[in-house]
Chains A and B, each alone.
Chain A
Amino acid sequence: MHTQDETTSVSDPDNEPENGALTPEELAKEWAAEAPESSGPIANLLACLAVLGLAIAGMFISAGLGLGTPQTPNAGTWPFIVCVIIAVMALVQMIVGRKGENGGEKFSKLSWYSLVGFVTLLLLIALMPIIGFEIPSLLLCFVWMRWLGGERWRSATLYSVIVVVAFYLIFIVALGTNIPRLF
């Protein structure tokens, strides 16, 4: 795995403050500089549109369930009201957040790691009922340690085996749960 985003900083120890301590304002600035970038206006718009779409779909389905009246509320009344609130707030957020400042972070190259992690979890679910939890867990641990975590393959293998054995001992032997297993 190639090193990514390596950062090198040249530090001049004579210039750093005595105690290595910074004032609260400087600390805050340092943290703000290290914090991930904001996701920007497009992300805000996309998120709001997605939510709006969800809310409108919800409104249609709730209407289908029957809206009733204030005197006799029906199954669809409450969900409809909630969906209306969601839709309205989504529109508000579209306007309020059009400059894209608050909240959210940009997707970076590292976000692919999260996607890979997600896929490994789905694979675990798919394989577990068929071949038990031991092998899928072993593979998941290995992938997470070796590729998502950057361990060397020898240590990744060793630690993966230790972890799966430990889980076997705890979940199967000690607690006696019914997790699908091979051994």
Chain B
Amino acid sequence: MSIIVGYLPSKEGQAAVHAGIREAKLRGEKLLIVNSVRLGSLVDKAVASPEDLEEVSKLANEAGIESTILESEYRDDFTEEFLRLADEQDVSLIVIGLRQRTQVGKFIMGSHAQRILLQANHPVLAVKAEQN
């Protein structure tokens, strides 16, 4: 059994990874870190560089957690892709980071967090960015 974390190179992504590590330790499970990127542009903020991924792996290793990194691509729907991966790997928990969005932003862009919470077949842990 494993825990899947949706990772982005951002504060929210960091928070999600930390939460994922804590949970994995508590439950004694493996960690699956997913960086899923949208196809179509040459450069994307959501893409995690090799250094980002290395750092995240290190964090997991230091906490004594076995971790795997998955890099995937999707064409139109992140939620669909992410939930598909969660079902495929039959995880015990989904961990995502939450971002502040205005009402208008949510309307136009849609909220993946909302859809994941509502559509997931597994328990979801949603965390906010850590206030340092």
- Which A residues have a C-beta under 8 Å from some C-beta of B? 1, 3-4, 6-14, 16, 20, 149-152, 154-155, 158
Contacts and interface: CB of A to CB of B under 8 A. Distances in A.
Mostly, the B contact residues are: mixed
A6 B40 contact: no
A6 B108 contact: no
Contacts of B108: 154-155, 158
B107 A154 contact: yes
8 contacts: A3-B76, A3-B77, A3-B80, A3-B84, A8-B71, A8-B72, A9-B72, A154-B110
- 10 closest A-B pairs by CB: A150-B76, A13-B54, A8-B72, A150-B75, A20-B50, A13-B53, A3-B74, A3-B75, A13-B57, A1-B76
B129 interface: no
A10 B85 CA distance: 13
Contacts of A11: 50, 53, 69, 71
B70 A8 contact: yes
B73 interface: yes
A6 B69 contact: no
A150 B70 CA distance: 22
A154 B110 CA distance: 9
A150 B40 contact: yes
Interface of B: 39-40, 49-50, 53-54, 57, 68-77, 80-81, 84-85, 107-110
B81 A3 contact: yes
Given A8-B71, A10-B69, 4 more contacts: A1-B77, A3-B81, A3-B84, A13-B53
A4 B75 contact: yes
B81 A155 contact: no
A10 B70 contact: yes
A159 B53 CA distance: 33
Nearest to B61: A14
A60 B74 CA distance: 52
A150 B74 CA distance: 9
Nearest to B72: A8
Contacts of A9: 70-72
A151 B54 contact: no
Contacts of B40: 149-150
